[in-house]
Structure 1
């Protein structure tokens, strides 16, 4: 599995709109993509215009070739792109270990 880490900076004062847009974009254009495993949206406390989106893919190619080469990618960017101050910084990671605390 691959982690796609997306560092997003949006225009000030647009957080509430972006919160809805990113969730809508994921549900409509990302969730059914080939190899898409799951996601987590993180909103920064210190810088409320900053978000970190963590997408999980079965393989790097599922993101970089299958999704990015599909019409769904353009539709996704059409939903979230207008909020971006700059293009997001996107990096891919191999997951070595995961352990979340029990609630």
Structure 2
């Protein structure tokens, strides 16, 4: 890997009453993303104020590893089938890189 990793941030609002099923489905979907070229690591965190709200953080080697390679893969089609029906509204997904000199 060269360059600075890219952080994908996806805000996930899970339909009421579906959090346990979502977490179980994500457990299955996990292998789909971890096996992708350019996947460095990921975290899922649940909001303390709203237990139906999650944030998915995925570190990729490059932006294209996520936006092109993963999203055009067969694994992404499985990912969609496992997870996308849990969301309302559909997640906001953005990509970030560190600001030099501002890390703690």
TM over 0.5: yes
User: What corresponds to 1:5 in structure 2?
Assistant: 9
The answer to whether structure 1 residue 59 and structure 2 residue 65 are counterparts is: no
User: What corresponds to 1:69 in structure 2?
Assistant: 72
The answer to whether structure 1 residue 14 and structure 2 residue 22 are counterparts is: no
The answer to whether structure 1 residue 26 and structure 2 residue 30 are counterparts is: yes
Where structure 1 has 5 or more consecutive residues not aligned to the other structure, the ranges are: none
Q: Provide, for residues 84-103 of structure 1, a one-character-per-residue CA deviation record: whole Å limited to 9, x for no partner.
A: 1121100000034665xxxx
Displacement over 3 Å in runs of 4+: 96-99
Q: In 1, distance between residues paired with 2:78 and 2:89?
A: 18
SS in 1 for 2:75: helix
Q: In 1, distance between residues paired with 2:77 and 2:52?
A: 23
Shift of 1:48: 0.8
Aligned length: 98
User: What corresponds to 2:95 in structure 1?
Assistant: 92
Q: In 2, distance between residues paired with 1:98 and 1:24?
A: 33
Q: In 1, distance between residues paired with 2:92 and 2:103?
A: 23
CA gap of 1:98–1:21, structure 2 versus 1, over 3 A, is farther
Shift of 1:49: 0.8
